[in-house]
């Protein structure tokens, strides 16, 4: 199948319908048109959804269905009817189910949390029956929700906040990446200028959540360890200067790319109260690393990991990606065997998501002869490897266009779970975000969430730093006057 056209008379339901269709037919060119509009060329499949005050008419291929509805039903009722019936039609047409059923735009763990008061088995059954989630995935969501609930139970999230600091530089840009990062070589002469702006923002926004206790610090990117040892020391010293770290439960620095990690940098980080780092291989197959633009070797990963252990780092996360080009069951098995031998404290398994900005998505035709695989067997293999490492799932989320309609799961040993990961997923605590592309999040007592976005472009961030500061201070209720500007 090469092309699908969705005919839709109510665009307010476009996201849910479009997402469900492309989940069944990933990689197929799919467009949405209004009734009466002729497509540019005849598609292989028409999916029609006509929404009216008394009925909904659905059609997918040879499958047709009329659904009676109560006039003036609310949007949620319409959406649930459409998604359930469209899912049933598409699975009949395709002859298969989706691991996560008809869930679109819903975080599985949040859904599981809603049903947990009814009991664990009931929560699993509700996800199976209402949303067609497979029993295995429903059980994964419920297990993750139970661990999240346990971890969060002793944390006063209403009176706390987290700090995120973005370093938007990478040694090179990976083929699949859609994050707002830039090659370090292009900005090498201006990195100190970026740090000047970042530390100014830090100083001016340190009191943006008056009366709240800082719980976690996360330095991400990009790749923070593109900074030199002196620059890392300058950044971490500023965090200690401007923020009260006496109640911080977790301080993460995402070292990330092994080709950016040196012993000198690890030693510089070690002199500060960082409690958790990441050394991210993505895969332990050199052929794949070369293909996707990771300019490091498998040996670099092992060297960086062992250097960190020798310096006393006792909470190391490793990120893996399932669904990378050319990787099937045996390649992932090899990666897991190498990871198990290293014995990290936390492993995050990502199903590859091809976002629009990623070069891999923009040049799919160049890779059409290379397979992109994610299957139950592959995901089970990863989970079994993590189980052998005495790890259990503690956070889970899904993205659009994920290989195999799967998920990202964080596994961790007892007392090693990444708290910041849970807090940002569950949106239960305010987050102060500094740096280019930072997204500050204000969580109100009534559950309402307000975001204050920093610009993504580094040059714009440098030129508009005063604006970024003023916008954040205006929303977050800073008590002190600005020292600068």
DSSP class of 354: -
What is the Cα–Cα distance from 393 to 409, expressed in whole angstroms? Answer: 7
Whether residue 183 contacts residue 236, with contact meaning beta carbons closer than 8 Å, is answered with no
- pLDDT value at 263 more than 60: yes
What is the token pair recorded at 332?
Answer: 């992932």
pLDDT at 272 over 50: yes
Give the least confident one: 240-244, 349-353, 451-455: 349-353
Q: Is the dihedral of CA 286, 291, 294, 295 positive or negative?
A: positive
Over residues 387-404, the pLDDT tens digits come to: 999 999 999 999 876 767
Q: How confident is the model at residue 370 (pLDDT cuts 50, 70, 90)?
A: very low
**pTM of the predicted protein model:** 0.91
Which domains, from first to last, does the chain contain? 3-94 (3.40.50), 108-152 (no CATH), 157-434 (3.20.20.70)
Q: Residue 312: its pLDDT value, please?
A: 98
What whole-number distance in Å separates Cα of residue 247 and Cα of residue 367? Answer: 49
Is the predicted pLDDT of residue 371 greater than 80, yes or no?
no
Average pLDDT, the chain: 91
pLDDT in tens, 1-35: 899 999 999 999 999 999 999 999 987 999 999 99
Dist CA 480 CA 223 (whole Å): 32
Q: What is the pLDDT of residue 54?
A: 87
The answer to whether 449 and 440 are in contact (CB under 8 A) is no
Q: Is the peptide bond before 322 cis (omega within 30 degrees of 0)?
A: no
């Amino acid at each position: 199948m090469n092309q699908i056209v969705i005919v839709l008379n109510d665009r307010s339901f476009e996201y849910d319908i479009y997402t469900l269709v492309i989940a069944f037919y990933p990689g197929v060119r799919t467009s949405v048109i209004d009734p009466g509009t002729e497509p540019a060329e005849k598609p292989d499949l028409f999916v029609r959804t006509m929404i009216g005050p008394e009925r909904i008419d659905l059609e997918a291929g040879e499958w047709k269905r009329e659904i009676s509805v109560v006039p003036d039903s609310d949007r949620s009722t319409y959406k649930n009817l459409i998604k359930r019936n469209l899912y049933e039609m598409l699975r009949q047409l395709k002859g298969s189910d989706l691991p996560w059923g008809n869930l679109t735009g819903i975080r599985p763990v949040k859904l599981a949390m809603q049903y947990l008061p009814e009991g664990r088995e009931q929560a699993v059954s509700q996800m199976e029956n209402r949303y067609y989630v497979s029993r295995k995935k429903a059980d994964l969501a419920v297990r993750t929700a139970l661990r999240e609930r346990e971890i969060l139970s002793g944390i006063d999230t209403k009176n706390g906040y987290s700090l995120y600091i973005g370093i938007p530089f990478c040694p090179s840009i990976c083929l699949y990446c859609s994050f707002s990062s830039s090659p370090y070589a292009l900005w090498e002469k201006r990195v100190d200028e970026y740090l000047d702006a970042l530390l100014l923002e830090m100083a001016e926004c340190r009191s943006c959540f008056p009366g709240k206790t800082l719980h976690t610090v996360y330095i991400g990117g990009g790749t923070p360890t593109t900074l030199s040892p002196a620059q890392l020391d300058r950044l971490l010293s500023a965090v200690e200067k401007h923020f009260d770290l006496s109640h911080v439960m977790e301080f993460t620095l995402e070292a990330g790319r092994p080709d950016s990690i040196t012993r000198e940098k690890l030693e510089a980080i070690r002199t500060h109260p960082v409690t958790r780092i990441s050394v991210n291989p993505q895969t332990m197959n050199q052929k794949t690393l070369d293909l996707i633009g990771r300019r490091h070797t498998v040996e670099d990963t092992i060297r960086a990991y062992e250097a960190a252990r020798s310096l006393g780092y006792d909470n190391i996360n490793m990120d893996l990606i399932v669904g990378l080009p050319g990787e099937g069951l045996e390649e992932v098995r090899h990666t897991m065997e190498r990871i198990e031998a290293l014995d990290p404290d936390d492993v995050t398994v990502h199903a590859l998501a091809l976002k629009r900005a990623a070069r891999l998505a923009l040049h799919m035709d160049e890779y059409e002869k290379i397979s992109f695989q994610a299957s139950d067997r592959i995901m089970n293999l990863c989970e079994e490897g993590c189980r052998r490492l005495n790890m259990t799932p503690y956070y889970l989320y899904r993205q659009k266009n994920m290989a195999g309609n799967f998920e990202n799961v964080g596994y961790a040993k007892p007392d090693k779970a990444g708290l910041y990961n849970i807090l940002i997923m569950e949106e239960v605590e305010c987050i102060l975000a500094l740096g280019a592309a930072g997204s500050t999040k204000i969580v109100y007592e009534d559950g309402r969430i307000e975001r204050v976005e920093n610009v993504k472009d580094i040059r714009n961030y440098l030129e508009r730093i005063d604006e970024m500061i003023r916008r954040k201070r205006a929303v977050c209720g800073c008590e002190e006057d600005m020292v600068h500007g």
